[in-house]
Amino acid sequence: MLGDQLGSEEGRTTVRRVVAGDHGLSPTVETSFEADGQLLGVPVHDIGSYSGRMRADGTLAGIGQGVLMSPGGAHATWSGQGVGQFTESGGTSWRGSLVYESASPEFAALKGVAGLFEWEVEADGSAHGKLWAWK
């Protein structure tokens, strides 16, 4: 069941590159981004990367990881996975899950929480997303 919204952010793709697929799989596209937003009401700057591989049915399978920091020095790491699809406007639309790790008191409420995300990337590289708790 979808729970409370935990955060949101807006950002931009910083780097994209194509990497050969392993063991006969299709190539993957590695995407790095930076975004600003809030998590649990705390302002954050997020730096992350994810890799997406096109599947036979035209959808995308992806995994990613990143770090986020608050202006006050709180920090957390995240890892996740998701599925995506291409949009009519030339971007991508992702849905998936994230888990966080942090020793910062500001992010203590993330302990044991799985987050569900929506991440939209426009053709020009701009991106925005939202995160909810999974209850």
pLDDT tens string 24-61? 888 999 999 999 999 999 999 999 999 999 999 999 99
All structural domains of the chain:
2-134 (2.40.160.20)
Q: Which amino acid would we find at residue 115?
A: G
Inter-residue contact 94 to 84 (CB < 8 Å): yes
- Sign, CA torsion 101/50/71/8: negative
Tens digit of pLDDT for each residue in 73-117? 999 999 999 999 999 999 999 999 999 999 999 999 999 999 999
CA distance 15 to 31: 6
| φ/ψ of residue 13, rounded to 5 | -65, 135
**28-39 and 2-19 as β-strands: parallel, antiparallel, unpaired?**
antiparallel
Rounded mean pLDDT, 114-123: 98
Contact 115, 133 (CB under 8 A): yes
Dihedral sign computed on CA atoms, order 36, 37, 42, 46: negative
Q: What is the pLDDT of residue 106?
A: 98
Q: What does the pLDDT read at residue 24?
A: 81
pLDDT at 130 over 90: yes
1 pLDDT higher than 90: no
Confidence of residue 5 (pLDDT cuts 50, 70, 90): very high
pLDDT value at position 135? 80
CB atoms within 10 A of CB 10: 12
According to the model, what pLDDT value does residue 108 have? 97
Token pair 């993330």 in the structure block, residue: 110
What is the rounded distance in angstroms from the CA atom of residue 80 to the CA atom of residue 65?
A: 6
